[in-house]
Amino acid sequence: MELEVSAESKDKSLNRRIAITVVVLSVFVGLCHIKDENTVQAMERSEAHAIDTWNEYQANKTKQHLAENARVQLQVLGAPDKVAGPIAKLDADIAKYQVQTPALADKARADEAEYDRLRFHHDQFNAADAGIATAISLAAVAALMETVALLWVAWGFGAFGIFMGLNGFLGGSFHPGLLSTLLG
C-alpha cells in the first residue's frame, strides 16, 4: 500500500494571494525597520544630550553653592579691605550660575521631551512589526491548511501592522497604549 502526497495546492489563487500578502508585508516591515532604527538612534542621542545637560546643570548648581559658601566665609573671616575684590568676583560667578542653571534645566527637559516624542513613534513601529509578523505567520499557516478564513485573519493583523507603521512614518497620534503596556 502506497500513499502519495502531493505538494501542489488545490487552490492556486489562494497561494497567489498568500504570496502577494507575504511580499507586501515583508517589504513594508523592512521599510519600517529602517525608519525605526533611525528613530532609535535619535532617541539615544536625545537621551545622551539630556543626561549630559543634567550633569552640567548639577555641576553648575554645585559651583554656585561653593561660590556662595566661599563668599560667606570671606565676609566672616576676611579683612574688609582685602576681600572686596574676591567677593565681587564671587558675586559675578554666582549671578552667572543663577542665569545658566534655569537655561540648562530647560534644555535638559527639551531633550527629554524629544526622547518621549521619539519613543512614541518607536512604539508605533514595534506594534507594526508585531502585527505584520503575526500576519505573515498566519498567512503561512493559511497556505499549509489551504484556508481562506485564516488568510482573512492574517490580512486583519497585516492591516493593523500597516496602520501602525504608517502612523510611525507620518507622525500619527494613534498609540497602542494597551499593547505597549502589556509587552513593555
Q: For 118-133, what is each residue's pLDDT tens digit?
A: 999 999 999 999 999 9
Query: What's the grid cell of residue 71?
Result: 563668599
**Residue 55 C-alpha from the chain's centroid:** 22
Q: Which residue has the higher pLDDT, 107 or 82?
A: 107
Asked if the model's pLDDT at residue 4 lies above 90, the reply is: no
**Residue 110 C-alpha from the chain's centroid:** 15
pLDDT tens profile 91-108: 999 999 999 999 999 999
Asked if the model's pLDDT at residue 17 lies above 60, the reply is: yes
Q: What is the DSSP string of 169-184?
A: HHT-----HHHHHHH-
Contact (Cβ atoms closer than 8 angstroms) between residue 157 and residue 140? no
The predicted pLDDT at position 81 comes to: 82
Give how far Cα 95 sits from Cα of 65, 72, 85, 105, Å.
12, 15, 15, 16
The predicted pLDDT at position 78 comes to: 81
The predicted pLDDT at position 175 comes to: 86
Contact (Cβ atoms closer than 8 angstroms) between residue 12 and residue 146? no
Asked if the model's pLDDT at residue 90 lies above 60, the reply is: yes
